[in-house]
C-alpha cells in the first residue's frame, strides 16, 4: 500500500510539473500525461505492467463522470442559449453522421469488418469537452458569432450520444440487440437520462438553497455525491448516465447558489485530476512496441475524420442556419478528441467478445494527433479565418469567470461639489483600510502621494482587502427586454425581493450606480446581489 501511495503521489506531482512545463514549451499537457504513462508502462523505463482493462474502465468512467458534470456546471446558459439548437444538433445528429462516415471509411477503404468499423466510428465520434475548455480558456480565444459557446455546449453534450452508439454497436456485435429492442434501448437511454438529470438538479438546488450545512465544505461534498448519483441513478434504470450527469451539471451550474465559487474551484481541481488520471492510464495501458503496427490505419482514420467526416457533419448541420464559412471551418477543426474517446475505447476493448482490430492503440494515435496538432493550431486558425472578436469575452462562456485576487478595487467619480474636490490626498477623510491607488485625470494615470490634489472630473480608484471567505452573497445579471414590467419604472417602485440589491446598471457602454430615482430602460443589464 505504501509503495502504491508513493508511486501515485510521484505521478501526480510529475503531472503538475508537466502542466507548468507544457505551457512554456508549447506542448499540450494532455500529451505530456500520455507520454509519462508510456514511460511508466511495460515498454517504458519504470516497466509497471498494467493491462487490466476492466479496472481501467471503472477508474476512467468515474473520472469522466466529473469531467461531464463540470462541463455542464461550468457552462453559462445565458451565453450559450443562442447557440443551443445548433450545438444540440451537432452533439446528436453530428455525432451520428461522423460515426457513420468514419465507420464506412474503415469498412470500405481499410477493410475492417462492418461492425468493427462502426465501433471505431462510434468511439471517436465525440469531441472532448476538457480539451476544448482548456484551450478556449488558456488561449483566451474570444471568437465571433458566439462560436465559443457553440463549441462549449457541443463538446460538453456529445459524449452521451457517442457512448450510446458505442454500447449499441457492442450489443449488436454480441447479438444481444436487434429490431424493436434497439429502438426501446435508445428511447430509454434518452428519456431516463433526462428525467434523472433534471430530478437530481432540482432536488440538489432546493437542498442547497434551503439547508445551511453546519460545516464549511459540506455543500461541496454534497454536490460531489449528487454528481455520482446522477450517473448511477440513470444507469441503474437503463438511462444514459453521462447524459444525466451533464444535464444535472448544467442546471445546477446556472442556479443562484451561495457558494458557487468554492464549488467551481473544487471541480476545477477534480476535473484536472481526472484528466491526469485518464491520460496517464492510457499511456500505462499502451504498448509502444505495438504502435508501429497501427500507425498507417490510425493516420488514415485521423485524417479522414479531421478533413472529411467532421467537416461534412458540421457543414450539413450549420449550413441551414446560414453560418459563415469561416465559422463552419473553425468548428470543424475544433473537434478535438481526448478523454472521452479513450474511455470509450477501453469500454469497447472490454465489451467486445472478439475483435480483430486493435481499436485501443488506434484511438491512442488519433488522440495524439488531435491534441498535439489540432489543439496547437486553434489559435492560429482563429486569426487566419478572422474569427477573433475583440468585443467578445470567452471567459463569460463559463458560469464563473472571475479571477482570484487578494485585493479588490472600486472606482468613484469626483464631480463638482464633491467633499474631496480640491483636497490633498493626505487631508481627505475616508473609510479605514482603504488605499487610494490611482487617479484617472483625462488621459493621465496618476499614482498619487500625500500632496496630490484631487480635482473635479477625476476618477479615483480605491483598493481594499478582499474578504478571503465566503460571505453568502450571490451575484447575478438580469437583462431587461422590452416586455419586462420594470421598463420605465424608477428603482424605488420596483420590488426585487427580500435579500436582493441592485449593485449597478450596464447601459450600452456605460455603468450606472443606481439610486431610488434611477429609471430602468429597455436593454439595461441589472447586476443584482442576493443573500441566502
DSSP string for residues in 11-63: HHHHHHHHHHHHHHHT--HHHHHHHHHHHHSTTSSS------HHHHHHHHHHH
pLDDT at 120 over 90: yes
Domain count, the chain: 3
Structural domain contains residue 15: no
d(CA 256, CA 253): 8
Structural domain contains residue 499: yes
Taking residues 140-144, report their average pLDDT: 71
Structural domain contains residue 43: no
Same domain, 201 and 269: yes
pLDDT at 449 over 90: no
Taking residues 73-100, report their average pLDDT: 86
C-beta of residue 238 within 8 angstroms of C-beta of residue 192: yes
Q: Provide the pLDDT confidence category of residue 405 given band limits of 50, 70 and 90.
A: very low
Taking residues 196-217, report their average pLDDT: 84
C-beta of residue 482 within 8 angstroms of C-beta of residue 522: yes
Domain that holds residue 436: 407-465
pLDDT for residue 174? 81
For residue range 351-403, what is the model confidence (pLDDT) as tens digits? 766 677 788 889 888 988 888 788 778 778 888 888 877 665 555 555 554 44
C-beta of residue 342 within 8 angstroms of C-beta of residue 363: yes
Structural domain contains residue 293: yes
pLDDT for residue 404? 43
pTM over 0.95: no
Same domain, 299 and 379: yes
Cα atoms in the Cβ-side hemisphere of radius 13 Å centred on 242: 26
* Nearest one of 304, 330, 324, 365 to 135, comparing CA atoms: 330
CATH of the domain at 294: 1.20.1530.20
Dihedral through CA 38, CA 307, CA 350, CA 175, nearest 10?
-170
Structural domain contains residue 286: yes
- Three-state DSSP at 89 gives helix
C-beta of residue 104 within 8 angstroms of C-beta of residue 117: yes
Same domain, 379 and 245: yes
Average pLDDT over the chain, rounded to an integer:
81
Burial 48-77 (b: 16+ CB within 10 A, else e): eeeeebeebbebbbebbbbbbbbbbbbbbe
* Nearest one of 350, 346, 164 to 241, comparing CA atoms: 164
pLDDT at 274 over 60: yes
Which range (69-78, 446-455, 518-527) has the least confidence? 69-78
d(CA 114, CA 520): 63
- All residues at 6 or more sequence positions from 504 whose CB lies less than 8 Å from its CB, including other chains: 511, 512, 513, 514, 527
d(CA 378, CA 313): 19
pLDDT for residue 398? 54
pLDDT for residue 493? 85
pLDDT at 319 over 70: yes
Same domain, 96 and 116: yes
pLDDT for residue 401? 46
* Nearest one of 95, 165, 164, 121 to 304, comparing CA atoms: 121
Place of cell 499502451: 286
Same domain, 450 and 345: no
Instruction: Mark which of 344, 378, 397 sits at the end of a domain.
Output: 397
pLDDT at 172 over 80: yes
Instruction: Mark which of 378, 397, 416 sits at the end of a domain.
Output: 397
Percent residues over pLDDT 70 in the chain: 86
What are the backbone dihedrals phi and psi of residue 416, each rounded to the nearest 5 degrees, phi first?
Answer: -55, 130
C-beta of residue 399 within 8 angstroms of C-beta of residue 75: yes
Sign of CA dihedral 485, 489, 491, 495: negative
Same domain, 73 and 156: yes
pLDDT at 289 over 70: yes
Q: Provide the pLDDT confidence category of residue 466 given band limits of 50, 70 and 90.
A: low
How far CA 262 is from CA of 17, 70, 254, 494, 517, in Å, comes to 24, 13, 15, 32, 36
Structural domain contains residue 99: yes
Instruction: Mark which of 426, 443, 465 sits at the end of a domain.
Output: 465
Same domain, 202 and 300: yes
* Nearest one of 504, 496, 505 to 524, comparing CA atoms: 505
pLDDT for residue 23? 57
Place of cell 514549451: 25
How many residues are given for the chain? 532
Q: Residue 132: how many CB atoms within 10 A of its CB?
A: 23
Same domain, 309 and 428: no
What are the backbone dihedrals phi and psi of residue 52, each rounded to the nearest 5 degrees, phi first?
Answer: -85, 90
d(CA 513, CA 303): 54
C-beta of residue 337 within 8 angstroms of C-beta of residue 47: no
Reduced DSSP (H G I as helix, E B as strand, rest coil) percent helix, strand, coil of the chain, to 5: 60, 10, 30
- Three-state DSSP at 213 gives coil
pLDDT for residue 138? 64
CATH of the domain at 421: 3.30.70.1450
- Three-state DSSP at 220 gives helix
pLDDT for residue 402? 47
Same domain, 393 and 413: no
For residue range 479-509, what is the model confidence (pLDDT) as tens digits? 788 778 888 888 888 887 776 777 778 887 7
Q: Tell me, what DSSP letter sits at residue 388? A: B
Same domain, 525 and 416: no
Same domain, 171 and 67: yes
pLDDT for residue 24? 58
Structural domain contains residue 27: no
Q: Containing H/E element for 503?
A: strand 500-507
d(CA 184, CA 181): 5
pLDDT at 27 over 70: no
Taking residues 290-300, report their average pLDDT: 87
Structural domain contains residue 314: yes
- Which residue would you say has higher pLDDT here, 82 or 228? 228
Taking residues 22-37, report their average pLDDT: 69
* Nearest one of 118, 101, 239 to 170, comparing CA atoms: 118
pLDDT for residue 102? 95
Same domain, 393 and 481: no
For residue range 176-202, what is the model confidence (pLDDT) as tens digits? 766 677 788 888 888 999 999 999 999
* Nearest one of 145, 478, 119, 118 to 326, comparing CA atoms: 145
Taking residues 459-473, report their average pLDDT: 65
Amino acid at each position: 500500500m505504501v509503495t502504491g501511495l508513493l508511486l501515485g503521489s510521484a505521478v501526480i506531482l510529475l503531472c503538475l510539473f508537466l502542466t507548468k512545463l507544457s505551457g512554456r514549451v508549447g506542448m499540450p499537457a494532455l500529451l505530456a500525461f500520455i507520454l509519462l504513462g508510456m514511460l511508466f508502462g511495460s515498454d517504458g523505463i519504470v516497466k509497471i505492467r498494467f493491462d487490466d482493462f476492466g479496472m481501467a474502465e471503472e477508474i476512467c468512467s468515474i473520472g469522466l463522470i466529473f469531467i461531464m458534470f463540470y462541463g455542464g456546471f461550468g457552462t453559462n446558459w445565458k451565453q450559450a442559449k443562442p447557440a443551443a439548437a445548433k450545438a444540440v444538433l451537432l452533439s446528436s445528429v453530428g455525432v451520428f453522421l461522423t460515426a457513420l462516415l468514419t465507420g464506412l471509411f474503415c469498412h470500405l477503404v481499410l477493410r475492417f469488418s462492418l461492425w468493427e468499423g462502426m465501433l471505431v466510428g462510434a468511439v471517436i465520434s465525440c469531441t472532448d469537452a476538457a480539451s476544448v475548455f482548456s484551450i478556449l480558456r488558456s488561449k483566451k480565444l474570444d471568437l465571433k458569432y458566439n462560436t465559443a459557446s457553440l463549441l462549449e455546449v457541443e463538446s460538453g453534450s456529445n459524449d452521451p450520444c457517442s457512448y450510446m452508439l458505442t454500447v449499441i454497436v457492442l450489443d449488436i456485435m454480441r447479438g444481444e440487440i436487434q429490431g424493436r429492442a434497439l429502438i426501446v434501448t435508445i428511447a430509454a437511454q434518452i428519456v431516463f437520462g433526462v428525467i434523472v438529470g433534471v430530478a437530481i438538479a432540482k432536488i440538489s438546488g432546493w437542498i442547497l438553497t434551503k439547508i445551511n450545512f453546519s460545516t464549511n465544505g459540506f455543500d461541496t461534498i454534497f454536490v460531489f455525491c449528487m454528481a455520482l448519483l446522477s450517473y448511477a441513478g440513470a444507469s441503474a434504470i437503463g438511462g444514459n448516465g453521462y447524459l444525466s450527469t451533464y444535464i444535472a451539471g448544467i442546471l445546477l451550474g446556472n442556479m443562484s447558489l451561495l457558494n458557487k465559487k468554492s464549488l467551481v474551484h473544487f471541480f476545477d481541481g477534480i476535473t484536472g485530476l481526472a484528466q491526469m488520471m485518464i491520460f496517464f492510464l492510457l499511456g500505462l495501458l499502451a504498448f509502444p512496441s505495438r504502435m508501429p503496427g497501427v500507425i498507417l490505419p490510425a493516420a488514415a482514420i485521423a485524417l479522414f475524420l479531421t478533413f472529411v467526416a467532421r467537416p461534412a457533419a458540421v457543414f450539413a448541420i450549420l449550413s441551414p442556419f446560414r453560418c459563415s464559412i469561416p465559422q463552419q471551418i473553425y468548428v470543424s477543426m475544433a473537434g478535438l478528441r481526448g478523454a472521452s474517446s479513450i474511455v470509450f475505447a477501453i469500454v469497447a476493448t472490454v465489451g467486445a467478445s472478439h475483435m480483430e482490430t486493435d481499436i485501443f492503440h488506434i484511438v491512442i494515435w488519433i488522440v495524439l494527433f488531435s491534441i498535439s496538432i489540432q489543439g496547437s493550431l486553434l489559435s492560429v486558425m482563429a486569426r487566419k479565418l478572422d474569427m477573433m472578436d475583440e468585443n467578445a469575452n470567452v471567459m463569460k462562456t463559463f458560469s464563473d469567470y472571475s479571477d482570484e485576487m487578494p485585493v479588490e478595487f472600486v472606482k468613484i467619480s469626483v464631480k463638482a461639489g464633491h467633499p474631496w474636490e480640491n483636497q490633498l490626498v493626505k487631508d481627505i477623510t475616508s473609510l479605514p483600510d482603504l488605499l487610494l491607488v490611482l487617479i484617472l485625470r483625462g488621459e493621465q494615470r496618476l499614482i498619487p502621494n500625500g500632496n496630490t490634489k484631487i480635482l473635479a472630473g477625476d476618477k479615483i480608484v480605491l483598493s481594499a482587502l478582499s474578504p478571503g471567505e465566503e460571505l453568502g452573497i450571490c451575484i447575478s445579471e438580469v437583462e431587461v427586454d422590452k416586455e419586462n414590467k420594470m421598463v420605465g419604472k424608477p428603482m424605488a417602485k420596483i420590488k426585487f425581493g427580500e435579500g436582493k440589491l441592485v449593485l449597478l446598471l450596464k447601459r450600452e457602454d456605460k455603468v450606472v450606480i443606481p439610486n431610488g430615482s434611477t429609471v430602468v430602460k429597455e436593454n439595461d443589464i441589472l447586476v443584482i446581489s442576493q443573500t441566502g
